[in-house]
Chains A and B, each alone.
Chain A
Amino acid sequence: NAGVTQTPKFRILKIGQSMTLQCTQDMNHNYMYWYRQDPGMGLKLIYYSVGAGITDKGEVPNGYNVSRSTTEDFPLRLELAAPSQTSVYFCASSYLLLAGDSYEQYFGPGTRLTVT
C-alpha cells in the first residue's frame, strides 16, 4: 500500500491564482482531513470528510474548498491565493471513529506552498 499520497510536493503561486492540492489514500479509510502547518503553530484543521459526499469545515476553512466524490480522493481547492495561505499542507486519513474510541491518523508527505 502506498498509504496517503499528495501532489504536488512543492508549489509557488502568485497572488490571486488558484490551484488544487491532490490527496489520495489506498487504505479504504472513510475519514479524511486537510491540515495546514505554520512554523511553531502546530496543525490546524481546514476541512474534513467522514465519507464520500460528506464534508465539513474545520478551524480555518476560509479561502479553501473541498470535495469528496470517492472514498480514495479528497482534493483541496485554493481560490484566489493570498500570502497568508503560504504554509505546509498535510492530508490525513483514518478509520471510522467509533464512540469513545479513536483510530490513528495517517499523514501524507505534505505540500509546501508559497504564495508571493
Chain B
Amino acid sequence: GQQVMQIPQYQHVQEGEDFTTYCNSSTTLSNIQWYKQRPGGHPVFLIQLVKSGEVKKQKRLTFQFGEAKKNSSLHITATQTTDVGTYFCAGRNDYKLSFGAGTTVTVRA
C-alpha cells in the first residue's frame, strides 16, 4: 500500500534560522495535505497541494509539490517560537489520507 515518509523526524532550530522538512511517497499522489500539531494539541490543516510543481506560501511557510507528484517539502524561514510543533504531510489514498510520521520542531531562543 501507499507509504508516506517524512524526514527528518526531529528538527532543532535556532530562532531566526530557516529549515526544510521533506515528505516522500512510494506512489504518485493526487494531492498532498500538510497539518500542524502543537504540543498536547490536535492536528490542524495548513494547506493542500494539487498540481505538479505547485508552490504555495503562507507568510513564512513555503510548501512545494514535486514535479512527479511523489514528494513535497515545507520550508520555514526565520523560525519563531510559535513554529514549535509537529508537521505532518498526508497523501490521498482512496477515501483516506495516509499520514507521514511527522517532523517535530523545537526552537532554541
Whether A42 lies near B48 (C-beta < 8 A) is no
User: Contact flags (1/0) for A19-60 with B, using CB distance below 8 Å?
Assistant: 000000000000101010000111111001010000000100
Q: Return chain A residues, CB-CB under 8 Å to B35.
A: 105
Report the bound CA distance from A62 to B96 in whole Å: 18
Return the contact of A97 from the options B43, B95, B100, B101 (Cβ within 8 A): B95
- Knowing A101-B50, A102-B48, A107-B42, say if A42 contacts B95 (CB, 8 Å): no
Given the interface pairs A31-B95, A42-B101, the reply to whether A102 lies near B33 with Cβ below 8 Å is: yes
Residues of B close to A107: CB separation below 8 A? 42-44
Q: Which residues of A contact B14 (CB under 8 A)?
A: none
Which chain B residues lie closer than 8 Å to A100 at the CB level? 30
Contact B92 A110 (CB under 8 A): no
Among candidates B41, B44, B50, B96, residue contacting A45 with C-beta atoms closer than 8 Å? B96
The answer to whether A48 touches B33 (Cβ under 8 A) is no
Decide if B30 touches A102 in the complex (CB within 8 Å): yes
CA distance A45 to B94 in the complex (A): 13
Q: Which residues of A contact B45 (CB under 8 A)?
A: 104-106
Q: When the two chains form their complex, are residues A105 and B101 in contact, meaning their CB atoms are under 8 A apart?
A: no
Residues of A within 8 A of B97 (CB): 45, 102, 105
B33 touches A58 (CB 8 A): no
B31 within 8 A of A: yes
Contact B101 A110 (CB under 8 A): no
What's the nearest-Cβ distance from chain A to residue B90, in Å?
A: 8
Which positions 59-116 of chain A face chain B at CB distance < 8 Å? 90, 92, 97, 100-102, 104-110
Query: Which chain B residues (38-92) contact chain A, with CB distance < 8 Å?
Result: 41-45, 48, 50, 88, 92
User: Which positions in B face A, CB cutoff 8 Å?
Assistant: 9, 30-31, 33, 35, 41-45, 48, 50, 88, 92, 95-97, 99-102, 104
Question: A43-B99, A58-B96, A105-B43 are known contacts; what are 16 more A-B pairs with Cβ within 8 Å?
Answer: A33-B96, A40-B101, A42-B88, A90-B42, A90-B43, A92-B43, A97-B92, A100-B30, A102-B30, A102-B33, A102-B48, A104-B33, A106-B45, A107-B44, A109-B41, A110-B42
